[in-house]
Homo-oligomer: A and B are copies of this chain.
Amino acid sequence: MQLDKMVQFHKAVGDVTRIRILALLKKGPRHGQEIASKLGLKPPTITHHIAKLKDTGMVYARREKNTIYFHLDEKKLEYMATAIIRIGEENFVKNQELEMTEAEKQKIIKNFVTKEGKLKQIPSQLKKKLVILSYFVEHFELGKVYEEKEVNAYIKTFHEDFATIRREWVMQQFMFRENNRYQLNPKEIWPIVIEK
């Protein structure tokens, strides 16, 4: 699960009113006014909270005549609630498979990077792709915040498809994005380990 999705989920659940709404929806679909009166709040407040719950995907709406009923998707709730328990595990599993020596790494780099330092193409094999992503991402400094523009500009110095590279960095946990700004993740949570 993506880091920002996880934050969004826990922010959504981290509120007394929204937990009370979830408790009600667990008993079955409810409509806005009903929820408002049961919790002693005004309808706009419920709209506000329901919006946050809907954004996570665990609540959805179905219209019946003039009334909109809100439903709880318990499967999604369960999936998202347990994601935090598995945090880092995907990486850990991958690490086992994705250890390699410095020599192997150099070979892959030599195959995919020109003498001028340009990326010939994005490797399709996961292992090789990760080597390449890690190789180029080392440009960034730990703790420094980068605008999307800066990230794009840097990628363009070695490859034209900046959108793909940027997305892969985030997806593969080399970097993390927070409102369109980027930061390097510590190597410990990168999905690849190079034996020294």
Please measure, in the bound complex, the distance between the C-alpha atom of A164 and the C-alpha atom of B106, giving whole angstroms: 70
Residues of B within 8 A of A10 (CB): 10-11, 13-15
Contact flag A84-B13 (CB < 8 Å), given A6-B19, A19-B6, A27-B188: yes
The answer to the question of A26 belonging to the interface, with a C-beta cut-off of 8 Å to chain B, is: yes
Please state if B85 and A23 are interface contacts (CB–CB under 8 Å). no
Contact with B along A153-196 (1 / 0, CB 8 A): 00000000000000000000000101000010110110000000
Report the interface size class on chain A. 35 or more
Please measure, in the bound complex, the distance between the C-alpha atom of A37 and the C-alpha atom of B81, giving whole angstroms: 29
Contact with B along A131-155 (1 / 0, CB 8 A): 0000000000011110000000000
Nearest-neighbor residue (CB-CB) of A35 within chain B: B186
Identical copies of this chain, number: 2
Please state if B183 and A40 are interface contacts (CB–CB under 8 Å). yes
Nearest-neighbor residue (CB-CB) of A142 within chain B: B40
- A-B contacts, 26 of them at CB < 8 A, read A3-B16, A3-B20, A6-B13, A8-B14, A10-B10, A10-B13, A11-B14, A11-B15, A12-B14, A22-B84, A23-B88, A24-B186, A26-B87, A26-B88, A27-B188, A37-B142, A37-B143, A38-B186, A39-B143, A40-B143, A40-B144, A40-B183, A74-B85, A78-B85, A81-B84, A81-B85
Closest 5 CB pairs of A and B: A40-B143, A10-B14, A11-B14, A10-B13, A38-B186
Given contacts A12-B14, A39-B143, 14 further A-B contacts (CB under 8 A): A4-B16, A7-B19, A11-B15, A13-B84, A16-B178, A23-B87, A23-B88, A23-B189, A24-B188, A27-B88, A37-B143, A38-B188, A39-B186, A82-B82
